[in-house]
Structure 1
Amino acid sequence: MTVSDFATHDGFGLAGSVTGGAVTPREIRRAWEIFQQDGVASPAVRPQVIASWQRSRAHRIAAGCAEAPVVSEAEWHRRRQQNLRLVHAARPAVEEARALLADARSMLILTDAAGTILETEGDARALDTGHAVKLQRGGVWQEAEIGTNAIGTALAAGKPVQIHADEHFCAAVQRWTCAAAPVRHPSENTVLGTVDISGSTDTFNPQNLAHAVALAHQIEAVLGRRIALEHDLVLRHFLNKRALWLSEEIIAFSRTGALIFATDRALKELARRNEAVLADGRLMPVRETAPEGWAQRMGELLPGASLEIVREDGEEIGGVMVLHAPRRPRPSGREPAHLAAPEPAPGFDAIIGESPALSEAREKARRMAQSGMPVLLEGETGVGKEVFARAIHGARTPPGAFVPLNCGGLPRDLIASELFGYERGAFTGADTGGRPGKVEAADGGLLCLDEIGEMPLELQSYLLRVLEDGVVYRVGGHGARRVNLRLVSMTNRDLSREVAAGRFRRDLYYRIAALRLTIPPLRERGDDVLLLMDHYARRAARQAGRPAPRFTAAALDALRAHAWPGNVRELRNVADMLVAMTDGVSPIDLDDLPVDLYGGASDETSNDLKSLERTAILAAVEACGGNLSRAARSLGIARSTLYLRLAAWEREAPPRGGRA
């Protein structure tokens, strides 16, 4: 419904009969008298007003009630404090009313959800007259207290309404004409209060209702921006401290318990521990408990969880909940150390990145891991092929041993003994008891052969026989040893070309490449660069016992624009260097980056592009009502990238006035 509809729509505009004819004040007065006498509803009265009269009658409101009740000064202060965000959001509207209504014999009224008047402003004559019926600060204007009136009826019906003269239930209030609209929470849609324009009956103006609706929308917009800012503050708290919780599941939430950030794993773990804690996307203990009781209530419902409350200007605006992993008992002194539970193998969640290219590769690898077939991982040097190999290994339960071997990192004459093992006396310098090779060590687990294209051609046939028969013969021996293993091979070469050139056996290639997966280079992974830099820089800082580093937006842009020929390995080295060479206090800026990492990042064109990017992001956040997940989807970027951008811009912004 648009504002222009309010003047004629039934229930919102002037009184009118069901046949559409004009209704005179005398007819409304007569209808009110009949209803007060015997409860009969006249068709001359709008249905919304009749419904309110009937509610008023059910509340046993006396038509002769002279004024609304008023809460004590202390109670008014308490209610105002509870609704401080609403009061602050309405301040521009209240200040505007001071000028617009100064000579209009009308006033603006702001109430809470219980109909308690929190603020009044406008013509001094209207303010003085309002005291006669307690249309003043502290007055309670629910229908259950003073019958039909714009404030109470708007709250009861949950929609805007105008009540004029004899439409009021109590005779003492019939000197007034009032228009009120509910103010709703921008994201939860709950009614927070009302904004009302009231004046004497001879000031009646049907546009007052449209004005009240516009003011309500204005207040809701201010609240929405404030909520988005609070969400950003909670996210910054999370980002600044998440290095402390890398191995834990974390949930960030608002002051109403609404989820701001949570991984799928965190939500699953929360449901596993106590599924009743989360309902409709909100943490119910936060929603139902005062902030000072959040930690205790969460501790009761989620043993092992801890809570960090985030405050601004001394007010609780949300928090971060950490679902600590249960501690494994240490082996006693009488128990052999090898009986301690092994650390779980890293899974696919350990692969950092949210870009479409990486997400597709990760999902393919997940399906490949379930098949049990040999996998060939292809990709440039440093793209993280071993991380994928370890994730494939960790997908099996139990995973068994992960046994890596770099076929290009050993002298040619040692590869055979390392891979297949050797018997006593097999060659000069051999252990007297012989030694098992990597193939035997991988029995029941996964053998990971890196740079398999470097394997000498004469050994490739031996490897093929092991894979075909499941049997290994040590160098210098004749005894067969049965093995059952999974194989992941890795290469930065094009093995099909090596086959065509005669440098790699065709039959072995088909055996190890039953499933092939290309890992995308870092230059094709977009904003994953920022996630990886944040991860490795925080890890390096933690190892050095230093605070987590921060980056300026200019530095983030330069990191994002770099081609990264060394891929993730190069990025990790840069992260280690930056942590070692900066003071850990000032944000890392362009001047701190290696010279070859950026070029022309400060020219006018680049600045214009960064300004356009910032404008687009902030516009998307506002268009989505502060919902950063929806904003990220609309922009086509990762949610975590959006968090990093906002955090960097906030650090670069000058402090707000009046803030320490």
Structure 2
Amino acid sequence: MDFKSRWEKLQETKKKFLQNNLDPRSSFYVDSYVAESWIRSLAMGVSPYANSIQERLDAAQIVKVLADNRQLMDITTSLFSQIKLKELVIASQHALYLFDKNGIVLIHEGDLLSISNESDSLTGVVWNEKTMGTCAHTLSMQLKRPVHLLGPEHYCVAFDKSSTSAAPILDEDGELLATLVLSQHLNDRYFEEHFIDFSSHALGIVTAMAAAIETKIRLKDSYEKLKTVNHHLKTTHHMLATTLAVIDEGIITIDAKGDIIHLNTEGRRILGLDQKQPVNINISKYLSKQSRIRDIIASGENADVEEIFCVDGKEQAYLANIRIVYNDNLHEVNGAVLKLLSTEKVNAMVTSRSGATASFSFASLIGESKEFKKAIAQAQRFANTPENILIIGESGTGKELFAQAIHNRYRPEGPFIAVNCAALPRELIESELFGYEGGSFTGADRSGRPGKIELAHGGTLFLDEIGDMPLELQAVLLRVLEDKQVMRIGGQRNKKVDFRLVSATNKELYQMVEDKLFREDLYFRLSVLTINLPPLRQRGNDVEILSEYFIEKYCRKVGWPVPAISPTALNRMRDYKWPGNVRQLEHAIVYAVNAAQNEMIEPEDLPAIIISGCPTKITVRGKIEEVYTLEVIEKLVIVNALHKTKSNISKTADLLGIGKSTLYRKIKDYDINMEEAF
């Protein structure tokens, strides 16, 4: 069938559909998707005889639609200009339209439609299946593929002599963005040979143009996304660099070969690199031959180790947190991130968190006796020198208080590390003092542990009861004092340490030297400067001064009124020899405050040992205790508080400043009979 005959058959079929409601789907000449659209159009009440535009957006709506489609319109207009399409369309008496995804006219070039009574722009006209029925672009939008309609295939009879080709413009996800339409209204020339030839090529032309627009849109979107990503990366990089710069730990990123890729401000400082100097250095330059970092990275295992970095000939120890970076696809080691923290900072944090600080100063030392003031003055002079100090005094005379005061005068910013040589088991004292490397012995931490000497770096090491230090360790301590270096158990290198040593003893060290129980060379090293603390029995009126201080301190703690000491009780206390010195006096005061019935401490309120010279002994949990021990005093305090509150647990706990669960536990531990207390 020739072109003209098909055209006429289409006109005949549409006439029967519109006038006689003949189902067009039964026609051989009408495509099924066109017939379905005719039926929908008729059902929606679209007039097939409309001769004017049915719907147009108002001015505000047009402005918004144009703004929403600005990129699409700019790209389309640019393409039209490049291929001089406007001139070609006008010359060939065609019309070119760009519709948005809702069928609204965005751009038109060429002859206006015969159904338009307007002489102005068609921009903003709503042209879809609901307003104009079946058209090439409405079908193209629905099917998302190019469509060509001959005149009678359009629903409106006004387009019976039009040939229209439409192609959709889709985004990268296949969603509709717009439709491009090339149309010609021919009047009576629809069967001419040149029209038939042009119509056969129109669909290819509009499809190619739509594809070109799609490509440009995707390129533009990709470019914008790339700009956004690049901006985001720059912003992220800047924020990351700023974040890393304020971290006071060294952050160094290296590749699998050990070449440094990136490092933060502190990392540059650690390696002695200028902040603007390009990095093209291998980490091996700064590591010792014994370094484990390279082996750890090769093994692909994260680890925390202590490493020595050598910069400009100077060695510095760092705690290195090594975190491996993998290639996810190949599961190969790409490199590692090292976080370096100076062991000095780590040790300082450890000592601070563990309470290794000195709270007493010389102003905290209470006493007015000549002997005591002489000891204070001597300690103040000695505190200003770096020499070792040996404090000699009986138990309870305040040797550690003097050590803390000396520390706070000489190195108040550094750590104060106290070690009681008599309290540590013989088998642990070496590791406590000198530390150990990981795996040095069974039960050792994998990463090792610094010793007390190492932790005292920059501050004071106080060795109490130095006379109880095992002989075999005295030689090691002597070497540390001479060289100012310490080697951990299982270690291979010495570590420099700078600390002030203050030691204390209640023994006759020189007699121990004579008896071959203490090294002579160590004794003379320790006793460069010696301070002798007087016992309390030689401090005269200090018993009264200290008693008043301890009474006020304890009563302020428990919230009780402060009692006075009767002259008789005070005389008994002055006459007593105080073998436990100041510590015993404080315990006796706590007992007396709890035992006093009135606002006056009488002789009978004092521990029996002070009155009679012999300690009263009672049985606590099957064990004989003297009344001035802390355990016995604590029990008496609890019993006294229960008596005052008539065994009310809540009131007793509040009075003592402890929790009820703690009070119940102590009642059980001390086997206190509640009825007897009441």
Q: Tell me the TM-score normalised to structure 2 length.
A: 0.37
